[in-house]
Structure 1
Amino acid sequence: MGGRAARRTGSAVAVCTAAALALGLVTGCSGGAPAPAPSGTRSAQQDVSYFTGLPARQGRPVLAVKIDNVRPARPHTGLGSADLVYVEQVEAGLTRILAVFSSRLPPRVGPVRSARESDLELLRQFDRPALAYSGAQSALRPLIDAAPVEAVPPGRAPKAYERGGDRPAPHNLYLRPERALAAAGDAGAASDIGLRFGPAPEEGRPATAYTVRYPSARYGFTWSAVDKGWRVAMDGIPAATTDGGPLAPATVVVQYTTIRPSEFGDRFGGVTPYTETVGSGRALVLRDGRAYDTRWERRTAAGDTVFITGRGERMTFAPGQVWIVLAPA
């Protein structure tokens, strides 16, 4: 584990209840059931993921995958297995996804697309993760090489990628995560990035649906008591995966931030947006059918992202997959 992770060994983590673990509920817990573990402790029966609050083996490496998200790229593959899903704005007001895997690896993930400068700042929170992407502008490659990531594009890990016959290029490139990590070398293990899991705070208001709009994309989140999560819709169409059914993260964070032009652009003359994830601002957290007005803060690129309630306390998330939608402020 890297030095950043080692410094975090005293950080607080949250666990599902001992009763749930005794029953073998290793894949999920009720949003209001878990209780936070005392500072510096772990579950007596099993380690817990820093990214989901669910039981997971410690020491597993982190793999971030840049995923296409235009209509021809859907439905996705493997996205339901991600611990964290970040939504980022790209050219023409569209979005792409940066999915972070550690607790479990699906056999296949995709479709994979190119990296952006914003990804490098966002991933500084992690302890040198592997980054899988289909390519990048030539001017951006020196920044990727200098960043604290283990880059594994097709040129460095050709056996980790394959083209599918289900849709036309460029929306048919898929990743084999195990092969990507094998080619990544010394990818850092999962460590505390500032998320906290546990019982819901007292404040909050009932919420059944919320919509986030980008210039050319729209995300809808609708609470499902059956799934104990928020059903995702993209551009008005319910989102599902080819290998796991509907997407329904336990917690959705709408992190409002500055999205400004970068120094890069696409081959059609479009300017690439840069999403600032260092700083502070407002955020809306959706969990257990309720909405919580919070603030986010990340003081340095290497620092954690912390979410604070109106009472000045750390916001707790429901155990399970977390979506962080980086929305224009």
Structure 2
Amino acid sequence: MRKWSLAVAATFLLLSACSDKETSKEPAKPVKKAAAAEKVVQAVPELPFSYPLTGIGSQTEPDNRAFAVVVNNFPKARPQSGLNQADIVYELLAEGDVTRFLAVYQSEKPESIGPVRSARDYYIEIAKGLDSIFIAHGYSVEAKKMLNSGYIDHLNGMAYDGTLFKRASFRKAPHNSYIPYENIVKGAERNGFKLSPAPKPFKFLTEKEVAHIDGRIALSAFVSYGTKTYSPTYKYDPSIGKYKRYINGEMMVDLETKQPILLDNIFIAEMSHTPAGPGGLRDIDLKSGGKGYLFQKGKVIEVDWLNNNGRIIPVKDGNEAAFVPGKTWVNIIPANPGIAKSITIEES
């Protein structure tokens, strides 16, 4: 029995040795490269079309008309809904030190926009320059005259409160009026407004031009409207190549999604503001041109602005200055104190 056990053991060792020998004869298998390394980097194909207010590429030709909505900026109306999906937002003073936004939508369709607030004549003029359908809830005397005259296609919460416009239960009037995007379309169709064509496009930089933007370093900018309650700060985030917007030290986010407002262009334009009646009403000169700043990719250049057929555009050396493709915020500030006193720019 002992001899048999030894024989089995010897046979096992012999087979193991043969197996090792055969294995050693096989050529060494090459080490597989990481999957990421094996991938061939392919250029992103250039899309045939682009959105007119953002310059972002599109597979199909965007032909839908823009909607321009007056959005409340009172502290009790924050955070707002849908601002992060606007192609371009204009911020102007309403009364006193209170600013409101004109949020313009063409490339995106937010589920809900608001709180919606009342119109002033200069918001109407800007919306008209983009051939957009104008949305507001309420109006000044001058704005009401313009709307009633048929100056612009519009929907107003004064006529559609509780139908197209919805009241939120978690806020009190006048800071709780919202309009779903689908209701804007319904209202436009009900009133026979045309839903095309798309607005005339702004000028945008190419990818190569974006990589070589000139200007001095501007990683932060504070825009004064007289009080911190309405004076925003923009901070550049180099990790994503965009500016974030802050108010009273808090980053602005969307109410529903909590997504931050991320901007590719900050355009600041200095305009003459003059008193226009009781309660702090004012006129804003949108036509005469003036000084401004354009912030892009952590840099800033001084520009002029012009009114080009109703559109406020930045101008450099006599030519329209191009935007970085993406979203834009336009701060219109009073010329009275001077632009240098209204803006603080920091390199860090």
State the TM-score, normalized to the length of structure 2: 0.75
Q: Which residue number corresponds to residue 51 of structure 1?
A: 53
Q: Which runs of 5+ in 1 are unaligned?
A: 1-17, 23-42, 264-268
Aligned: 1:180 with 2:166 = no
Do the aligned residues in 2 keep the contact of 1:130 with 1:181 (CA within 8 Å)? Answer: no
Task: Extract unaligned runs of 5+ from structure 2.
Answer: 1-41, 336-348
1:214 to 219, 225, 246: 225
> What RMSD, in angstroms, separates the aligned Cα atoms of the two structures?
2.1
C-alpha contact (below 8 Å) 2:126/2:310 kept by paired residues: no
1:189 is matched with which residue?
197
* Other-structure match for 1:286: 295
Alignment of 1:16-27 (within 5 A): 19-20=43-44, 22=45
Q: Give the residue type in structure 2 aligned to 1:143.
A: M
TM-aligned CA distance change 1:195 to 1:325, over 3 Å: farther
Query: Any conservation in 2 of the 1:76–1:110 contact (CA below 8 Å)?
Result: yes
8 Å CA contact 2:235–2:244 kept in 1: the answer is yes
Instruction: Summarize deviations over 1:271-324 as a string: whole Å, max 9, x none.
Output: 21222221211111111111111111115xx34433222x44432211111101
How far 1:19 moved relative to its partner?
Answer: 3.6
Relative to structure 2, which stretch is displaced further, 48-57 or 71-80? Answer: 48-57
The answer on 1:63 being equivalent to 2:67 is: yes
- Give the alignment of 1:4-15 within 5 angstroms: none
C-alpha distance after superposition, 1:217-239 (max 9, x if no partner):
21100101223211101233221
- State how far apart, in whole Å, the 2-side matches of 1:295 and 1:208 are: 21
The answer to whether the 8 Å contact 1:275/1:326 transfers is no
Q: Across the two proteins, how many residue pairs are aligned to each other? A: 281
Given candidates 318, 321, 334, the residue that maps to 1:328 is 334
What is the CA–CA distance in structure 2 between the aligned matches of 1:235 and 1:274, rounded to whole Å?
A: 27
Deviation of 1:146 after TM superposition, in Å, equals 2.6
SS of residue paired to 1:292: strand
Shift of 1:136: 1.2
Distance in 1 separating the partners of 2:150 and 2:272:
22
Instruction: Give distance in 1, aligned partners of 2:151 and 2:142.
Output: 18
- Separation in structure 1 between the aligned mates of residue 195 and residue 123 of structure 2, nearest angstrom: 16
Task: Give the aligned residue type for 2:49.
Answer: D
Q: Secondary structure at the match of 1:61?
A: coil
Higher relative contact order (CA 8 A, sep 6+): 1
Q: Secondary structure at the match of 1:140?
A: helix
In 2 relative to 1, CA 187–258 (structure 1 residues): closer, same or farther, beyond 3 Å?
Answer: farther
Which residue matches 2:271?
Answer: 257
State the identity as a percent. Answer: 22
TM-score by length of 1: 0.79
Equivalent of residue 137 in structure 1, options 140, 143, 161? 140
Q: Any conservation in 2 of the 1:218–1:236 contact (CA below 8 Å)? A: no
**Is the 2:127–2:133 Cα contact (8 Å) retained in structure 1?**
no
Matched residues in 1 for 2:312 and 2:239: separation? 30
66-75 vs 152-161, which moves further: 152-161
Q: Within 2, Cα distance between the matches of 1:47 and 1:146?
A: 36
Q: 1:52 to 1:191 in 2, by over 3 A?
A: same
Q: Please say if 1:153 is aligned against 2:156.
A: yes
Larger Rg: 2
Q: CA deviation at 1:125?
A: 1.3
| Higher fraction of helix | 2
How many Å separate the matches in 1 of 2:273 and 2:106?
A: 28
Aligned pair in 2 of structure 1 residues 314, 323: CA closer, same or farther (>3 Å)? Answer: same
Q: Distance in 1 between matches of 2:150 and 2:301?
A: 34
Quick one: distance in 2 between partners of 1:193 and 1:304? 10
- Give the secondary-structure state (helix, strand or coil) at the position aligned to 2:76: helix
Instruction: Specify the code of the residue in structure 1 equivalent to 2:104.
Output: V
| SS of structure 1 residue aligned to 2:53 | coil
Residue 297 (structure 1) aligned with residue 297 (structure 2): no
What's the CA shift for 1:187? 4.5
Matching residue's letter, 2:256:
D
User: Cα distance 1:275–1:227, how it changes in 2: closer, same or farther (>3 A)?
Assistant: farther
1:241 deviation in Å? 0.9
